[in-house]
Structure 1
Amino acid sequence: MHANSNDRARITTRVTAHEHQDIEEHSIIRLGQNDMKRFVDALDNPTPISERLAVSLKQHLETRQHETGRCRSTVRWVPKPR
């Protein structure tokens, strides 16, 4: 038994709809009102990084600059003097 082109189109449409639903279920994060407020607050008022992390990131960027001869990074960060 062979599927005709209409059957194939219906099957493809159904599979595509299920794929989109699966992608949506796994890529969208739904938050309640309280969680949403906490999330936005964390973005607006991030916790300062620790001295240890600041030193590590600075060392990493310096190492990359030394190894590649240039400092090209997607990290646009300069430690603030304390």
Structure 2
Amino acid sequence: MKKFFDAYMYMRSQLGDKHMPDGMVMRSVYLRPQEDTKLRQLAHEKNVSKNDLIRSAVAAKLREWEQANSDERLNEDLALGRRTR
């Protein structure tokens, strides 16, 4: 993990902050192949990046979970996203 962090910090120092959006942090997620395909297709159709779609989906879900004020919807959504063992 330290090697990755060192590489990340080196890259950031070389590129400068103009390539790192203000106030954002990098996260990595694993998607199922069919989810990635659908995401890529939608991004192409809407002429936006996959990152923009992911950020929008995260923001929308967070609002939905907060407004629901219940763990029921969150638990249902977690069941959809969990990895199978």
User: TM-score by structure 1 length?
Assistant: 0.31
* Greater relative contact order (Cα < 8 A, sep 6+): 1
Question: If each structure's helix is expressed as a fraction of its own residues, which one has the higher value?
Answer: 2
Q: Which has the greater radius of gyration? A: 1
